[in-house]
């Protein structure tokens, strides 16, 4: 008899992480644990946030959908079809599918990276500069740690001022900005070409391919889509519509491994560079992201960092470490990391399980 367990955890953060939508002082996520009849366990992470600032999903809605709809009808051999009977909720689906992929790779005695066709043993890491600290100081910290690019969480109307300060600190370090869908007009962003940014990520609201295309036609700076890409079909539309030159892929946002792998294969055909976005995940979600970033089309530094970047203590036994600007892709079976059950128990707010 197989078993599914949901762990609702809340992990304290070193310092609040601030974006245009607000600050996060602790990270609440759902860890999905699937155990087969041989006692092997696969782990995934439902990385929805506590409030619906990023997408409409929250930890509470994802808990409900996973517990009451997805897991009760789970069939490993036909999970994709079962997921299609529930509209939306990609993060809930992604966490469950992550656990399935981890379990399948472990059954074959292979790392998850090898199981999905990854080619890199280590991946380049990019850091994030939030709105809560001193941007210049944060940039120096990122550079000293070896990060290979910085993503700046800008405040609308002050982006030129913020970027000018960072360019005074370092005129050539690779910088990008994250619009988080806060902008309304392409004219607001055209002056930013002068800063020679690596990219501008998701300046307009999710789903507005028309406005992104209009901006990309006018700007030399590559536009990257994030929140707009919630499925393989969204990615195809963005490519065919020429709404961007780069795609950010997050397993949680696109609904899991099946969708992400389809996006990757299409990007290979379209010669579209990809990078792996971050969700301020724990080590479980980060290990899945590292496997994703090991695929051939992920050519740009991702939002990947060590376990100590955001948390005083991660929920995995052996921390993920940044070394010389790179993070090694775990080589052990499956995701290659194991939960620290003692610590995870101490930060668990709720737990649910069922046999299936």
Q: What is the third-level CATH fold of 114-328?
A: TIM Barrel (3.20.20)
Could you read off the pLDDT of 158-173 as tens digits, one per residue?
Answer: 999 999 999 999 999 9
Active site residue 250: yes
pLDDT in tens, 242-284: 999 999 999 999 999 999 999 999 999 999 999 999 999 999 9
| pLDDT surpassing 60 at residue 20 | no
More confident residue, 257 or 356: 257
pLDDT of the residue at 308: 87
| Structure confidence at residue 73 as a pLDDT band (50, 70, 90) | confident
Q: Band of the pLDDT at 22, cuts 50, 70, 90?
A: low
Give percent of the chain above pLDDT 90.
84
User: For residue 177, what are the CA distances in angstroms to 20, 64, 197, 211, 300?
Assistant: 12, 34, 8, 18, 15
| Residue 242 is a catalytic residue | no
Domain ranges of the chain: 3-109+340-355, 114-328
User: Of residues 153, 286, 313, 317, which has the active-site annotation?
Assistant: 153
Tokens 């307009």, residue located: 204
| Spatial separation of the C-alpha atoms in residues 341 and 352, rounded to whole Å | 15
Average pLDDT, the chain: 93
- Check if 3-109+340-355 and 114-328 are the same fold: no
Per-residue pLDDT band at 297 (split at 50, 70, 90):
very high
Instruction: Kindly report the CATH number that applies to the domain delimited by 3-109+340-355.
Output: 3.30.390.10
Residue among 93, 104, 106, 250 flagged as catalytic: 250
Helix/strand/coil for 165:
helix
Share of the chain above pLDDT 70, in %: 97
């Amino acid at each position: 008899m197989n078993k599914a367990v949901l762990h609702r955890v809340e992990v304290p953060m070193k310092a609040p992480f601030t974006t245009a939508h607000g600050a996060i002082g602790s990270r609440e996520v759902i860890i999905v644990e699937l155990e087969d009849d041989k006692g092997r366990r696969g782990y995934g992470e439902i990385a929805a946030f506590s409030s619906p600032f990023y997408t409409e999903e929250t930890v509470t809605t994802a808990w409900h959908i996973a517990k009451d709809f997805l897991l009760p009808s789970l069939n490993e051999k036909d999970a994709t079809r079962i997921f299609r009977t529930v509209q939306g909720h990609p993060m809930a689906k992604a966490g469950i599918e992550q656990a399935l992929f981890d379990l399948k790779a472990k059954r074959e005695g292979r790392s998850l990276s090898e199981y999905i066709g990854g080619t890199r043993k280590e991946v380049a890491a990019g850091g994030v500069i939030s709105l809560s600290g001193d941007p210049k100081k944060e940039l120096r910290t990122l550079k000293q740690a070896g990060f290979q690019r910085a993503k700046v969480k800008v405040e609308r109307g002050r982006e030129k001022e913020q970027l000018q300060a960072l360019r005074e600190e370092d005129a050539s370090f690779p910088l990008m900005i994250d619009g988080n869908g806060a902008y309304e007009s392409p004219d607001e962003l055209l002056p930013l070409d002068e800063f020679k940014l690596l990219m501008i990520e998701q300046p307009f609201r999710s789903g507005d391919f028309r406005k992104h295309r209009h901006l990309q036609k006018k700007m030399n700076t590559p536009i990257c889509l994030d929140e707009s890409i919630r499925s393989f079909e969204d990615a195809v539309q963005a490519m065919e519509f020429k709404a961007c030159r780069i795609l950010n892929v997050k397993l949680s946002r696109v609904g899991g491994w099946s969708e992400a792998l389809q996006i990757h294969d299409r990007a290979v055909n379209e010669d579209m560079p990809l990078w792996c976005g971050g969700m301020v995940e724990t080590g479980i979600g980060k290990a899945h992201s590292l496997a994703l970033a090991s695929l051939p089309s992920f050519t740009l530094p991702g939002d990947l960092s060590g376990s100590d970047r955001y948390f005083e203590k991660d929920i995995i036994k052996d921390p993920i470490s940044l070394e010389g600007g790179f993070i090694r892709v775990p080589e052990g079976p499956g995701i290659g990391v194991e939960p620290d059950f003692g610590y995870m128990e101490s930060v668990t707010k709720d737990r649910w399980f069922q046999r299936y």
